[in-house]
Structure 1
Amino acid sequence: MRVAVLLKDRCQPRKCNQECIKFCPRVRAGVPETIFMGQEGKPVISEELCIGCGICINKCPFDAIRIIGLPEELDQDLTHQYGENAFRLFRLPIPRTGIATGILGPNGIGKTTALRILSGEERPNLGDYDDPPGWDKVLDNYAGTETGRYLKRVADGDLRSATKPQYVDQLPKVVKGKVRDLLESVDERGELSEWVPRLNLDNALRRDMSELSGGELQRVAIAATLMKDADVYFFDEPSSYLDIHERLRIARVIKELSEKKQVLVIEHDLALLDFLCENVHLMYGTEGAYGVVVPAKAVRHAINIYLDGFLKEENIRFRDSAIEFTEHPPRNTAAMTELLDFPAMKKDFGPFKLEVGAGTIHHAEVVGILGPNATGKTTFVKMLAGVLKPDEGKLDAEIKVSYKPQYIKTDFEGTLQELIYTETPQLYSDSFLKAEVTRPLALDALKDKKVSRLSGGELQRVAVAMCLARDAQLYLLDEPSAYLDSNQRMECAKTIRRVMEKSGRSALIVDHDVYFIDMLADSLMIFGGDPGKHGIAQGPYDLRQGMNRFLKDVDVTFRRDQETHRPRVNKPGSRLDREQRAAGEYYYAVRGEA
């Protein structure tokens, strides 16, 4: 089965010589119907006539064509297609009562499309985009299946759904007014008084939506979803903007809900997904071209398959190599040369005060920074970067710093290629950076895209790359995993790690994803205190000591999966949880069942 996809946002016929048509061997052999200019002024590719040679892919100057070979069996599983040579989705995930079901896969392969179909916002067309079938034909197609039984409830209007949207930072643009007014308007279950304290929203109730931080917007969106009286609940990336304390709190709340309702969760934080869900649907595909939903598997098995990158049942390899985790031995810092000794520092903003203990950063060291939101992590990074000056304590060392802020904003009007040539042309000219940064972060595929049109994840990859490209001794990256899918997070972590090891430079990384920090950090700084009022920073500690301190405060223990060595959250009160707490080993057990 051959799938031909034209990425219309990349295709620019006025700026090319129609190489896809001119060099097509079938067209040159006298079969012009193979690929021709359609009514929209863009190429149309016949999947029946295409021989899959790939010449059009290589000749297209804008990387706008995808020709993909898929198993013939999938032809019977086509759920939805948006048009000729357009994105298509195969199969659907199905939520089940009594457990939380997860969806795990890259961005741009149809997870949100699946939610729209399951919530009744869109009717599946089974690939017939010119003459979409009615519900009768759709239900006949799925007769006798679990998917069919679910869709019948959707078709009959017998299924109420509630969806927590993905991009909560866009909420203030569509929802105006006070938080209390919003929550009261959606409280169909009379549970406002329960969810406000449980989701720590007391201080947000009297404020306007436009005044909320990203974390507050996320918690408001989750509360609004929970208070709706529905049969099935969809949570699209509920961990964004939340620290690990908040993520685990939200996970417990969603698990409670799943005991009596159907719950489906899209999540890229693998530790959270592992803790929250019993079953997971993997998804694979090509961004913007197609997506395939894999039947649900037990969460441990699903995540391990995802990390390995090979789906045995369908004989599909969706990643070139497996993602590996290692049990970090403590580094001998005595043998490492010091880059920066920072003194004890204080910063007083009036309502908020930050105290930082003295510490040392070494050459070629990656220091992770963990802690609750609003405890001064970004303030500390800004003091090291010279953006803010401490009220007490002075940084004597003169070192060159490259800084990627938490919130990325740009008003650049040109393409990404133009931005890079203006700001960091070395990403294209330096062979080391091209191999270690530009390619792994997949920037070439974005080069002709307007910067203003980049998604949050695309903009994040660009910001990380530009930060790493600058000539500096210390690289400060504030939440580099935000907006990235699981695969992109792992690639980003490996990229940062490789650059520091090979260049002998050092980095400080603020993030809330435990997998991400575990993959790249040598040591940890731990932030605590009273969020929004008083922050206290300590360290750096070696990774194991730092994780033990941090996880003890979070009140959760981790173990290592025996197969992949990835960190896994222990079930509270389980034998391993009790044993590790007694031994003071919150980070991972030296031995134990996975």
Structure 2
Amino acid sequence: MTRISILDHDRCQPKKCNYVCIDYCPGVRMGEDTITVDEKTKKPLISEELCSGCGICTKRCPFNAVSVINLPEALENPVHRYGQNLFELFGLPSVSEGDVVGLMGPNGIGKSTIIRILSGELKPNLGNFQDPPEWDEIISYFRGSELQNYFRNLSEGNVKVVHKPQMVDRIPRYVKGRVEDLLLSIGSERTDEVIEALEIGGIMKRDISNLSGGELQSVAIAAAALREADFYYFDEPTSWLDVRQRLNAVRVIRSLADAGKAVMVIEHDMAALDAMSDYVHILYGKPGGYGVVSNRRGVRVGINTYIKGFLREENVRFRREAIEFKVKPPRVSDEGDVLAEYSSMKKSYPEFSLEVDEGTIYFNEIITAFGPNGIGKTTFAKILAGVEKPDTGKVKKNIKISYKPQYLSSDYPGTVDELLYEKAPGYGSNIFKSEIMKPFNLEEILDKKVEELSGGELQRLAVAVTLSQEADLYVLDEPTAFLDVEQRLMAAKAIRRIVEGRNSSAMVIDHDIIFIDYVSDRAMVFSGKPGFNGHAGSPTELREAMNRFLMEVGITFRRDKETRRPRVNKINSFLDRKQKELGEYYYLKAE
């Protein structure tokens, strides 16, 4: 088997360990240069040619910074490697005119690297990072495939490419002025059509620096879709968006493919990916170590394959167990012991008001709350958590609450390990390791400084700390933001185990329909006029709540016959029309 060695530069701290990996390496002891020191970075350099794969350095490293990975025998030459002991990518997906191709896989597996390569921002080095090849060699490497012509045209400037980046919150750093100045300057004939489709007419006069995350995402999608290009790349286009906005984004992205353009998307919301894509590529490997691009599959088959965790054609199992979706029987509204009750409540601000219907929370249940952005969900969460006080009404029982806010702070001065020691009860115990540490994969970030964490890492840490508290009710505001599919479902399982194991309950606010379906016992719907007024209905049976919500949005879902996951029906399809006639927006009862 081919072997690669990976060094996590963020974790590696040679000043604290004095190069313990070098001291214990058998090769070094025999006089070989198996591990040396980089003169520039002062970090260890591991020779993959000389490394025997004994694994001693990985076990001795006190910061878990070293990984020695045995690659599958079928893997040969990489498409790109960032440097010695750094991430390696094998294979590239195919792009085709008139199709939307989706990329699925965990964070750190190479999806954004792929888009950077295909968009021309990163030149593939074919694994030769010391002496990168010229375009002629790259084009020759892909001979016999459609990528040969693609890279030839890309190198000659004969194709136009548009890339919607992942981190839209950074846009105000580089783009100044009002939204209308940005979009009108593109000069597209479709400007009014796209503005209407994304429902952003109301923010056209606003300054870009004053937009929320969801508004920035919609503007970024609009700016990308309005530019004239041959290939469009969208990196996580539904982050920050509510359900309605996600479906608006789906329609705009699909319209590009319908116009004959080639489109590629990275997306962690499986329902949105299913609705917008024609084909998908699954990426597997070891996050941060190496990534492999699978064969292209039809979108339904591809997502179902991902859920099962086994690539039949490649004979690769990348997950031990399949993800199981179950249709839960309706929970009777007055069933179980009452944990807490709240009366009808009102909360008013100068420009926004929220009304909340009375409700009951039972022991051992997970209630999800969903609705448009700017409708009062976060305000309701703050009232439950005691951060805000309602103008009228109250929570009737005095219960202990653990609260994770929507927007996370990374200003803690120390490491993740230090934060957990300070703020997570039971840190270091076997129960903490099994219930919190392992599900959220915190081992890999323990030595990182909190202020240096990525969005996904910070989210995992925040949810983990919230769930580690002894509480009667866990209030989690958008716990899936920045998480990949695996992490979202792992978080759902962890929330369920904590709730049932501690005889407590949870209130979860989120926009991912599949996550909501997976985790919910009951649900509550928020409606109204975003930014002006909101109304929170009482918690009710999930299917009833979904029917009410989806009727307002105007879409229908069905269940996949093979995996039971929710799937969006195409607008005006036979099943869409049938379900709307029956008033069954969230799958037919027979399913």
> What TM-score results when the alignment is normalised by the length of structure 2?
0.96
Tell me the amino acid that sits aligned with residue 101 of structure 2: T
SS in 1 for 2:537: strand
- Which residue of 2 is the match for residue 295 of structure 1? 295
Amino acid at match of 1:111: K
Other structure's SS at 2:295 match: coil
Q: Which residue of 1 aligns with 2:579?
A: 580
Q: Distance in 2 between matches of 1:17 and 1:122?
A: 35
Give distance in 1, aligned partners of 2:157 and 2:556: 44
Q: How much is the aligned-residue C-alpha RMSD, in angstroms? A: 1.6
Amino acid at match of 2:353: K
How far residue 17 of structure 1 moved from its aligned partner, in angstroms, is: 4.2
Opposite residue 195 of structure 1, the aligned amino acid is: V
| Equivalent residue, structure 2, for 1:224 | 223
For residue 178 of structure 2, what is the aligned residue in structure 1?
A: 178
**Partner residue in 2 for 1:215:** 214
What is the deviation of 1:271?
Answer: 0.5
For residue 333 of structure 1, report the CA deviation from its aligned partner: 4.9
Partner Cα distance (2:466, 2:414) in 1: 19
CA contact (8 A) 1:328 1:543 kept: no
Q: Give the partner amino acid of 1:547.
A: M
Please show how residues 423-442 of structure 1 align to structure 2 within 5 Å: 423-426=423-426, 428-442=427-441
Task: Determine the structure 2 residue equivalent to 1:532.
Answer: 531
Residue in 2 aligned with 1:504?
503
* Aligned-pair CA distance for 1:504: 0.9
2:270/2:514 contact within 8 Å kept: yes
- Amino acid aligned to 1:148: Q
Report how many aligned residue pairs link the two structures. Answer: 588
What 5-or-longer segments of structure 1 have no aligned partner? none
- The one-letter amino acid of 1:120's match is G
Give the structure 2 partner of residue 514 of structure 1.
Answer: 513
CA distance in 1 between partners of 2:194 and 2:65 (Å): 46
5 Å-filtered alignment, 1:5-404, equals 5-28=6-29, 30=30, 32-39=32-39, 40-76=41-77, 78-185=78-185, 187-259=186-258, 260-404=260-404
Q: For residues 48-73 of structure 1, what are the alpha-carbon distances to aligned partners after superposition, in whole Å with 9 as ceiling and x for unaligned?
A: 22232322222211111121122333
| Paired residue type of 2:73 | E
Letter of the 1:346 partner, please give it.
K
Rounded to whole Å, the distance in 2 between the matches of 1:278 and 1:476 is 37
Listed as ranges, the matches of 1:452-471 within 5 Å are 452-471=451-470
In the TM superposition, residue 38 of structure 1 has moved relative to its aligned partner by 3.3
Aligned pairs (5 A) from 1:554-569: 554-569=553-568
CA distance in 1, matches of 2:10, 2:431: 30
1:57–1:66 Cα contact (<8 Å) kept? yes
Paired residues of 1:310 and 1:317 also in contact (CA < 8 A) = yes
What SS class does the counterpart of residue 219 from structure 1 fall into?
A: helix
Q: CA deviation at 1:203?
A: 2.3
CA separation of 1:394/1:590 partners in 2, compared to 1, >3 Å: closer, same or farther? closer
Deviation at 1:591, TM superposition (A): 4.0
Structure 2: where are the runs of 5+ without partners?
none
Q: 1:115 to 1:536 in 2, by over 3 A?
A: same
Matched residue of 2:263: which SS? strand
| DSSP 3-state at the match of 2:403 | strand
- Counterparts in 2 of 1:425 and 1:341: CA distance versus 1, 3 Å: closer
Structure 1 distance, partners of 2:262, 2:419, is 45
Q: Is the 8 A contact 1:188 1:229 kept in 2?
A: no
Q: Structure 2 vs 1, CA of residues 49 and 212 (structure 1 numbering), >3 Å: closer, same or farther?
A: same
| Aligned equivalents of 2:472, 2:287: Cα separation in 1 | 36
Q: Distance in 2 between matches of 1:193 and 1:550?
A: 28
CA drift at 1:498: 1.1
Q: Is the Cα contact below 8 Å between 2:425 and 2:469 reproduced in 1?
A: no
Mapped partners of 1:473, 1:199: distance in 2: 40
Select between 387-396 and 506-515 the one with higher mean Cα deviation: 387-396
Q: Deviations over 1:375-399 (max 9, x none)?
A: 1111111111111111121233211
Q: 2-side partners of 1:63 and 1:450: how far apart?
A: 15
- Over residues 501-541 of structure 1, what are the superposed CA-to-partner deviations in whole Å (9 max), with x where a residue is unaligned? 11111110000001111111100000111111221111201
Q: Is the 8 A contact 2:325 2:518 kept in 1?
A: yes
In the alignment, is the contact (CA less than 8 A) between 2:198 and 2:252 conserved in 1? Answer: no
The amino acid across from 2:59 in the alignment is N
Verify the 8 A CA contact 1:367 1:523 in the aligned structure 2: yes
Quote the Cα distance in structure 1 between the aligned partners of 2:315 and 2:271.
26
Q: Match of 1:524, SS?
A: strand
Deviations 1:425-480 (A, max 9, x none): 42x23432321112110112111101110000000011101111122211110000
| 8 A contact 2:81–2:128 mirrored in 1 | yes
TM-score (norm 1): 0.96
> Residues of 1 paired with 2:117 and 2:229: CA distance?
16
* SS of aligned partner of 1:124: coil
User: 2:545 aligns to what?
Assistant: 546
Q: Supply the distance in 2 between the matched residues of 1:205 and 1:561 (Cα, whole angstroms).
A: 39
**How far off is 1:579 after superposition?**
3.1
Which letter maps to 1:337? D
For each residue in 1:280-328, what CA deviation from the matched residue of structure 2 results, as whole angstroms up to 9, or x when unmatched? 0111122221111112111111111111112222222222322111111
Indicate if the aligned counterparts of 1:139 and 1:148 stay in contact, CA closer than 8 A: yes
CA–CA distance in structure 2, aligned partners of residues 483 and 450 of structure 1: 18
Deviations 1:122-155 (A, max 9, x none): 2111111111111111111111211112111111
Give yes or no for contact 1:525–1:537 (8 Å, CA) kept in 2.
yes
Instruction: State the Cα distance separating 1:95 from its structure 2 match.
Output: 2.1
Structure 2 Cα separation of the partners of residues 482 and 410 of structure 1: 15
Identical-pair percentage: 51
Could you tell me whether the CA contact under 8 Å between 1:310 and 1:316 is conserved in 2? yes
Residue 4 of structure 1 aligns to a residue whose secondary structure is strand
CA distance in 1: counterparts of 2:353 and 2:541, whole angstroms: 26
- Kindly state the Cα deviation for residue 41 of structure 1 after the two structures are TM-superposed: 2.3
Distance 1:72 1:399 in 2: 56
Residue 590 of structure 1 deviates from its aligned partner by 3.9
